[in-house]
Each structure stands twice: as C-alpha cells, then as structure tokens.
Amino acid sequence: MTELSILERIRRRLAAETSEATPHSVAAALRAEHQVAGSGTVLALVDQLRSETRGAGLLDPLLATPGVTDVLVNGPDEVYLDRGRGLEKSAVRFADEASVRRLAQRLAAQAGRRLDDASPWVDARLNDGTRLHAVLAPLARPGTLVSLRVPARRTFTLEQLHAAGSLTDESAAVLRRVVASRAAFVVTGGTGSGKTTLLAALLAEVDPHERLVIVEDATELRPDHPHVVGLEARPANVEGAGLVTVRDLVRQALRMRPDRLVVGEVRGAEVVDLLAALNTGHEGGCGTLHANSTTDVPARFEALGVAAGLPREAVHSQLGASLDLVIHLVRGTDGLRRVAQIAVFERSPDGLVSCVPALSLGRGRSEKGWGHDQLEAVIG
C-alpha cells in the first residue's frame, strides 16, 4: 500500500468518525487499517492532515514570503509566486488533483461561497483580505486553478517609491502638485503594474483635515491618512441574495460628505455615478483603471459607460468634464513598476475625448508632450 493510499484511507476514516487529526486519532486509524508506523510517520501524517484543514495548507509558507503579491496554482504540479520580479516556480507540489480541489473548495467555504460542479468558479475575499479566484477542473487545465492575490502588508510613501525607482525627481514633484491642486485623476496600467500602491501613496499626501471615502470591490487601499472610511462590495450568497455592488456604494458614498471620493477600481456600471459625481462639485476624486496605455483610457470609459446604458456622446461629455488627467504605470521586464506617462484629456470638434501626453518619463529622462501646458494649468 502506497503512502498516498494510506493518507487517503486515514483521511476518509477520520471524516467518517468526525475526528480531528491528532497523534492519537491518526495512530488509531493506522491500527484500524492494519498499518504499523513509528512516531515520526504519525506526526508527519498529522501535520499533513492539519495543513489541509487550516489556512491555505501547503500554500501558507508562500503567502507568508516577504514581498509576495500573488500565488498561483496550475493543477497539482505547478505552483508559482510573484515577489515583484515576475513569476517564479516554487518547489511546492500537491499530492494530486483532488488535493487542489479540496483546498479551493475549503477556501471558498471560508469566504462563504459555493464551489462545486454546479458552480465551478469563485471570486471572493478571505478574512485576512487575500483575494481568491478559483476554477475547477475539467473546465480548467491542467487541473483546478487557484489564484491568490495577497493584500499589501505595508503602504509606501512617495519618497519610498522614489527611492525604489518607481518615480523620478520630476514625477514625484508633479504628483504632489496633482494632489495639492485637487485635480481629478485615474491611475492606469496593466495587472500588477502597481496602481493600488501608487494610489495609496498619493492619498497619503492629501491634507489630513480632508475626509477620504473609499469604495472598493475588495478592500486593498490602505492609505496612511488619519481620516479614511471605506465601503466594500458584497457578492450574492449561495441563495443568490444579498448582492451589494460598487455602483450601490458609490451612491451611498456621495451622501457621506466626502472631501475625496475614491473608487479603488473602475470596472463596471459604477462609472456612470462616478463621472456624474466628479462633474457635480466633488473635486479631487480618483481611482484606478485597467488600460494598456493612456490613449486607451477614453475607449475603456466608453465601453464601461455604454454597457451601463449611457450613450457614447454622453460618456465622452461626462469624461471631458469630470476628469483632469491620467497617471499611467508600466512594469518593465526587470519587474520594476514605474510611472511612464502623465496625460490630459482633450475634446475634439466632434465632441469625443482623447488622451494627450503631457509628460513622458523614462529612466533619467523626461519629455514634454502636447498637453504639458494644459497639465500646468490644471495643477497650478
């Protein structure tokens, strides 16, 4: 009998007896299975069984690794982590596909979500703030896929981002002026480009007497500021009830006397209420948006607004009147996240809005664009 089959038999026996994995219960299960094992083997089995029922099991050491932002499981044999330098394959392996499936289902249950063949994917937040996404096999290949996004364990200041190379002297100075001017802006970039990190650093620069109201799908922004209140969306429960959307919360936030309205990530119908709010006296509002470049930003807003029921012309009209500028981040091949461009919005004769580069930033260089004068006018 193999070690794997012994483990599975003990697991089933303990489950049938509703017993916890202790040295005594595991030793008794081994005797019942007519297996002889020393104390070292018993303790190893106890540790393995306990790891399956607590925390993230085999993934816990990876999640606790300093600097880790993501842990990705591609079936039982491929586990990756990202510590800011790109994906690294770890030495962690699962016994089999069933082990990955059990972990995914247990994590989903911790978040109060259902994950089974009838509902084969889940997107949820765990109690410690870790973002869970999982898709069960056979929909997923090469096996059940688990993605864990680790919340930031610390916030960075603009000075620290500058020291890390994400900001130049010029970009740091410009960003401080952006915050002080109460300009409305969005931080854009691809996944893992550092949008949330930069936005938190910028919010830490806001006058301590101002009230920040932050709306998020899952809590990630933790700015170092004395007056921050947050609202977090909630998915429907297993009965399909209790859904609270980001759009619902944006409307509530407007009644909470925000000095700065912040939407952690603009990616749905909330774009309608956000643009309307920023166009009716709520200065200094901001958020993040997935976009590959500044030139793509109007198209992203257009797609979101039209999907939410706004005519294309209305989206561009609101966008041009609501937002002042875009701060775009890129992630280099070396893993360094940096501010690459600051752009402003420009309205064409047909009423459509486009993004115009105001300041393009590289390592040790900067280049002023067509919108530089407009940027200076906005941030004073």
Residue 110 scores a pLDDT above 60: yes
**Sign of the four-CA dihedral 101, 54, 236, 258:** negative
SS3 283: coil
pLDDT band at residue 284 using 50, 70 and 90 as cut-offs: very high
Which range has the worst mean pLDDT, 108-112, 222-226, 292-296? 108-112
Q: What is the pLDDT of residue 1?
A: 41
Q: What is the pLDDT of residue 20?
A: 60
How far apart, in whole angstroms, are the C-alpha atoms of residue 329 and residue 196?
11
Q: Exposure of 111 by Cβ count < 10 A (0-12 exposed, 13-18 middle, 19+ buried)?
A: middle
Q: Is the CB of residue 357 less than 8 Å from the CB of residue 341?
A: yes
**Sign of the four-CA dihedral 21, 27, 33, 36:** positive
Q: What is the pLDDT of residue 45?
A: 66
The predicted model gives 186-205 an average pLDDT of 93
Q: Tokens 């890390």 label which residue?
A: 164
Q: What is the pLDDT of residue 3?
A: 47
**How do residues 348-368 score in pLDDT, each as one tens digit?**
999 899 999 999 987 667 899
Angle, alpha carbons 324-193-150 (nearest 5°): 120
**How do residues 40-49 score in pLDDT, each as one tens digit?**
676 676 666 5
**Sign of the four-CA dihedral 257, 129, 79, 90:** positive
Cβ contacts of 64 within 8 Å, gap of 6 or more? none
User: In terms of DSSP bridges, do strands 185-189 and 286-290 run parallel, antiparallel, or are they unpaired?
Assistant: parallel
Q: What is the pLDDT of residue 42?
A: 66
The predicted model gives 32-61 an average pLDDT of 68
**How do residues 61-72 score in pLDDT, each as one tens digit?**
898 898 898 999
Q: Exposure of 348 by Cβ count < 10 A (0-12 exposed, 13-18 middle, 19+ buried)?
A: exposed
Q: How far is CA 350 from the centre of its chain?
A: 37
Q: How far is CA 8 from the centre of its chain?
A: 35
pLDDT band at residue 332 using 50, 70 and 90 as cut-offs: confident
Scanning 153-225, the segments in alpha helix (DSSP H) are 158-164, 169-181, 195-203
Q: What is the pLDDT of residue 50?
A: 58
How far apart, in whole angstroms, are the C-alpha atoms of residue 143 and residue 146?
10
Which range has the worst mean pLDDT, 141-150, 256-265, 337-346, 359-368? 359-368
